[in-house]
Structure 1
Amino acid sequence: MPGKEPDRQEKPLAKLRDKLSDGLARKRLTKTQLATRSGLGRTTVQEAFRADGTVPSAETVAALARALGLPEGELLDLQRRAAAHRNGLVPGGGEGTGRSIGQWDPHDLEIHPSGAAASAGSVRALSGYVRRAHDQVLADAVGEAMGGRSRMLVLVGSSSTGKTRACWEAVQPLAAEGWLLWHPYDPTRAEAALADLERVAPHTVVWFNEAQHYLGDPQSGERIAAALHTLLTDPSRGPVLILGTLWSEYEDQYTAIPRPGSPDPHSRARELLAGRTVTVPDTFDQDALGAAARLAQGGDRLLADALARAGTHGRVAQDLAGAPELLRRYKHGAPAVRALLEAAMDARRLGMGLHLPQAFLTDAAADYLTDDDWDRLTNDWAEAAYADLARPVHGKQVPLGRTNPRPARRPPIGPTLASVTAPPTGPMLRLADYLEQHGRTARRLLCPPASFWHAAYTHLAHPGDLNSLAEAAEDMGRAQWAHHLRLRAARAGHSGAMIKVAWAREGTGDREGADSLFWQAAGAGDPRGLKFLGQKLEMAGDRESAEPLYRQAADAGDPDAIRGLARLREQVGDLEGAEALYRRAADAGDPNSLADLMLMREGAGDREGAEAIAREATAAGDTLCFTVLTEMREGAGDREGAEAIAREAADAGDISPLLHLWRAWLDSYPERAEAAFRQAAETNGSPTPAHLARTREEAGDREGAEAIALKVADAGDFYVLSATGES
C-alpha cells in the first residue's frame, strides 16, 4: 500500500533490510551463496532478510556488511536502533540514563587493552575471549534478566584477572535486544550513582566496575547499597542487570561481621552482596589454557604471546593487561622512580584516596632513597622520574600518571565544612591498580620513613587522607605524627578526628576544649558528638541533661545512643522500658545491647532469663554474652553454674568461656582447669599442647608437663621442650 511506505521507511529495521537487499542484488548473489561467503548459517541469513523476522545480531550484520561490501558502521547503527526500537527504547532520547551497549567503547568501561597499539591512531585491541567457569554464572544472570527478572552479580578477584572483560562479554546478547548501559562516574562515581540511580529505566545494565568506589564511599556507600536494593526489588523498574567487580580484600571488608563493640559501617553492602558474588580465579585452569591455545593457533597473536610468557603459571589475564610490565618498570626503574612508586604504594595501602598530590609524593620520596642515590640526583630529577612513570605500558596503563579529579557540581550529600569540598591544588597522580595491589602485599609490614609523614603533614589538605594517615601512624607507633596529622584532619573538618582529639583533651583535663570539639563533630553531621556529650553528663550523674542528647543522637542513627537511653531507664528502675530500648539498640546494630540486657536480667535475679538472652545473642552470631555470663557466675563463686554455661557455649562453637575458666582455675582447681582446656581443644583444636603442658607445670605436675612435651617433641615440635625447661 503506497500510503504505508513512508512510515515503513522510517523504521530502522526496514531500512536495514532494504540496504541488505540492495547489496545482495548488486552482488548478484543468492542467499545460499551469501551464507558461504559470510561464514554464517543459511538459516541465519534467511532470518536476516525476512520481513517479519527478528532483529539480526550485531555479529550477523557485521558479517553480512563485509560480505556485501556495505558500510559496516552505518548498518550496525541501524541494527542498534532497530533493537532499541523493538524494546521501546530510544537511546539518547532522554528516557532513563545510559546509552545503547553497542555505542560503548569497551575501553571506556575500563577494560584493559590486551596489547600496545601499533601507532597513535590504532584501535586498542582486545584478544580473543576465553570462557571460564564464572562466565556461565554470568550467562545465567543475563538470561534471567532477558527473561524479565532483575539481577545483580559482582565478580570478585585480584587485579587484572579478567573481571571487567567477562562482564563486557556477558552483556553482548543484551546489545542485540536494545538494552542500555549506564556507567556512573561524573563528577565522582559515588556522587553520580547516588544522584541518578532513581532514573535507571527497565532494560538497563548498571555498570559498577571497581564497586569499592561506590559501596565503600564513606559518605554515600550505604545509601548506594540501599538504592540498589530498591532497584532490584521494585518490579515496576525491572528488568535491570547490575554488574560489578571487586578485589577480594574489599569483599572481605564489606562482608565481614564486625567484632562485638566495633562499628558496622557496611551493613547494607553486606546484605546487598550476600548471594550475589562469584569468584574469578587468578589463573587459567587447564581447560581455559587449552581454549586459549586453540585461539592462538587460529591466529590470535595477542593470546599466543601471552601464553608464551604466562602459560606455565596460568596468569594469562594479568599478562594481557600488562601487569608484568608494570612490575618490571617498578623493580628495574631508576632509584627516583622506585622511590616515588613506593611512596605512592604506602600512601594507598595506608588509606589515602585514589588521587595523590604530586607535591606530597615528591617530598615523601626523599627518605626512600639511599644517601648515595640522593647525592646523585640532578636538579630536574622529579620531572624526569614523573615523565618516565607516565610512559604507558599497554594502551592507557601507566605506572603513575596524571589524573584530573572532577570538581563537585552537585550539592554535598550531608553537612560538611567548606574546607572539605575545596578542590585540590597542584597536579594529582594515580598509581596503577596492579602496583597498588603489589604494594599492599610486598610492603604490608613496612613503616614509611620520616619524609613520608613530614610530606603528609606539609602538603595534604583532604580531611579523609589526613585522618587515615593519622590512624596508620598510631598503629605503627608514630605517636607524634599521629597527633599532628589528626589535629590537621580535625581542623579540615573530619568529625572522627575531632572526636579523637576531644577525648585526648578530656584526658588532659581540658573538658571545655573537649566539649567544644564534640559539639563541632555534631555540627559536622556526626551523631557520636552528641552521644559522647551525653555519656559525660551521665557519668557526672546529670541524667536529666544527658537524655535529650542521647535522643538526638539516636534519632540521627547512632544505635549506641539508644543503648545509653536504655541505661538511663534501667538506672531509674524502669526495667521494662530499658529492655525495650536495649532490644531496639540491638535491632539497630549495637553489638553490646544484648549483653547489657543479659546483665540487667542477671542483676535482677532472673538467671533463666539471662541465660535465654545469652542463647538468643549466640543464635544471632554474638558470642560475647556467654563469656560475660561465665565470668559473672565464676566471680560469684558458682563454679558449677559457670562450667555449665561454658560447656553450653562450647556446644555452640564458642570456646572463649572455657578458656576463661582454664586461666581462672589454673592455680586453685588444676584438674577442672585441665578438663576445661581439653574440651576447648576438642571443640576446635585452637589451643596448643604448650598450653596444656603449662597447665600441668603451673599446677606443680612437673612430670606430667614433661611427658606432654616429650610426646609432642617426638612429632617434631621442640618448642614445648624449651617452654618447659627441657634441654
Structure 2
Amino acid sequence: MSRDKGGGPTRRPRRLERARVKWPRPLRELKDLLYEAYLAADAPSLDDMTADIEADDNLSGAPSRDTISRIISSPNPPPSQADAISVAMVLARRAAWNEGDLAARVRKLWTEAGMCTPAGRPISEFDDLLVLDHLEVHPALDVGTAIDRLGALPAYVTREFDARLGSVVSAAAGGQSGIAVLVGGSSTGKTRACWEAVKQLPDGWRLWHPIEPDRPSAMIGQLDLVAPQTVVWLNEAQHYLLDQEHNAQVASSLRELLNDTERGPVLVLGTIWPEQWDALTYLPAPATGPDPYSHARQLVTNKSITVPEVFTADELKTAEATATNDPRLAEALRHSEQGQVTQYLAGVPALIERYRTARPAAKALIEAAMDVRRLGHGTALPLALLEAAAEGYLTDTQWDLLNDDWLEQALAHIARPVRGTRGPLTRIRPRRGQAAPAQPHYRLADYLEQYGRRSIGTVPPAPDARDAAVVPVPAHTWDALIDHGTPAARASLAGAAHARGLLRIAMRLYRGAAEAGDTRALRPAAELLRVADRLEEAIAWYQRGAESGDLLALGWAVLLLTRHGMTDEAFTCHQLASEASNSAPLGMDTLLEKMEQIEAADAWVQRKVVDGARVTTEWAPLMLRDNYAWLLQKPARVAEALERLRVHAEAGNTGAMTLAADLLHAAGRVEEGRRLRRYGWEPKGWVAERWEVPLPGG
C-alpha cells in the first residue's frame, strides 16, 4: 500500500483477469500476447491506459475504458483491429518492448482470428444424403420408390449397445469430453449408430470429419480449429491410429484436446474392425522392440463398445415392428442370414456395384448364374455349368482375350465378401457329415437373383410394347443346362424351356430328368408332344408315365388310344399300368369318363383365361389375338408381330408360341406355322427344324 501527497494511503487498482479463450488458436494467442504485455507493463490501470491513448494523436484507435478491459480480459475477439493495436502500443512503451514488433504480431493474430472458421459444420445441417456422402454411412438397398418416400436412410433399429454409446454422448452434452470407439465387423451398423447418437446433441454442436488431403494430415493440421461442442468423427479409425508415421502425433493431439477443460466439451467417436482393434491394442513383449502404437493404445484403452454381428431375438422383434413402415428393413429381415440385418441393408448396393463394374469374365459368370436361377435351377450351381454357360455372355473378342486361368481369377474376385455379406458367387462348403460333391458348387447372392429376375425377366406390359425389357438367354446357357444342370433341376428347367417355345430343349431336359429317376417329368413331356400334334410320340410318353404309376398319364394314354380307334392298345396299356403299380384302380369306362371331365374342365379354364385377358394385361400377350390382327393387314408387319411374340415367349409367357404359329398360318405361311407348332423355336430365334427325342432308356 502506498501513500498519496497528503500522506494518506492509496489503493493499487485491481489487476485485470486473464482471458480464458478456448477457441480459436489465433485468438487465444492474441489474448495471451496482450496479457503478457499487460503484466510486463506492471498491470497499469484502465485510467492510465486510456490517458496514454488519448495523449497520442498518432494512434488510429480510440478505445474507451470498457473496451480496453474487454480487449485484455474478455475471451471475445477485439471488435476493432485499430483499438487492439493502440492498446498494444501503449503497453509496449510501458514495458519497454519494441512497439512496431508487438503491433505487427497483434495485427497478424487479429486477422487470423477473424478468418478462423470452426472445424466441421453444425449437426443440424446434415441431411440423409450428406450423412451418406460425408460421414460414410453405407447406402442401403432401394425397394421401388422407398428412397423417394422415406429418405435415403432406412429406419433405425435401436440395439443393446446403443445404450452405452448414448451415455457417452449424454455426458458430452452435459459438458464432459469423451471418446468411444465402436468395434465391429463390416456393415454391422457402427457408423449409422454413431450418427443416430450424435443427432441427440443439443443445438450448437458441430461435427468434424478430418479427411482431406488425407486423414492423418487433416487431423494434425486442423485440430486447432476444433471449437468446444464439436464431435470429432473418426470413421475407420485405423486410418488415424494405425498410421505408421503419424499415429503417435494424432493420438497425443487427441488426448490433449480431450484433457483441455478450456476447449471442452468435445466428443471423439470412432469405428474400427475387430482385427484392426486387436492390432491397435496388442501390447508387445518388451524384448520385441519398440511399441509402435503406445500413444494410440493409451488413448482408446477402456473406450471400446462392441457392435455384435447379428441381431438378438429381442432386437429382431423390435426390427419387425419398425419394418412395418419401411419396406427396405422388411426385405432385409426376410432375406438376411442368421440375423445379419445391417449387413444385408448395406451389402446390397455394394453387391450391385460389384456386379456392374466386374470385368467381362466375372460379369459373365454372374449373369450366367442369374439366368440359370431365373430359369429354375436349384441354389447349388455346379462349377462346370457356370464355366460352360459363361461363354455365351462374352463377345468373340472378350472370349479370345481371356487368360488360361480366367475362371480362377474371376471366381476369386466375385467370391470375396461384400460388407459382411456373401459376394456375388460364393462357394458352398459342405458341413461335417454332408457328402462332398464331385465338383465345387456355387451360390448366387440372393439379392442378385432377385435383381436378375426384375431387370432381365420382365414380361412386356402389353402385346404392342415397343421396348420390351427382356434379355434372351444365350443358346450356350441352354446347352450348359442340358449337359451340366443337376438332375433335380432338369424338370423345372424343362418347364421354363417349354414356356418359351424351346420345345427341342424342353424335351431333352425332360428326358434327362426321367433318366435320372424323376418320373414326374414324363407326363409334362407327353403333354408338350400332344399340344404339338405329335400324338403318336405323346401316347408313348404317356404310356411310360402310366407304367411309373401316374394315374393322369394313364388316363391320357387310354383316352388318346381310344379316340384313335386303338382300343386293344388302350386296354393293354390300362392292364400293364394296373399290374405295374397300385395307382390305376379305376376301370376302363370310369377312367375314360374321368378324363372326359378333366378335358372339359381344362377347356373351361382356357376360356376363363381368355375372358380374363380382356380385362387384365397379365395374359394379354398370350390370348388377345385381335390385338395382333392389324399387323396382318400389311405383310411387312408380320415379322414385327412375330418378333414381339418371340420376346414375350422369352419372358416365359406360355402361349406366345402358339399365337405366333396361328399368325403364320393366317399370313399364308402354313408350313412354317405348322413347323413352329410341332418343333418350336431355337434359342437364337429361328423356327426349329424337325427333331426327335427317344423315350428314356431308349
Is TM-score (shorter-chain normalized) higher than 0.5? no
TM bin (shorter chain): 0.3 to 0.5
Normalised by the size of structure 1, how large is the TM-score? 0.34
Higher relative contact order (CA 8 A, sep 6+): 2
Larger helix proportion of the pair: 1
Give the TM-score taking structure 2 as reference length.
Answer: 0.35
* Structure ID, larger Rg: 2
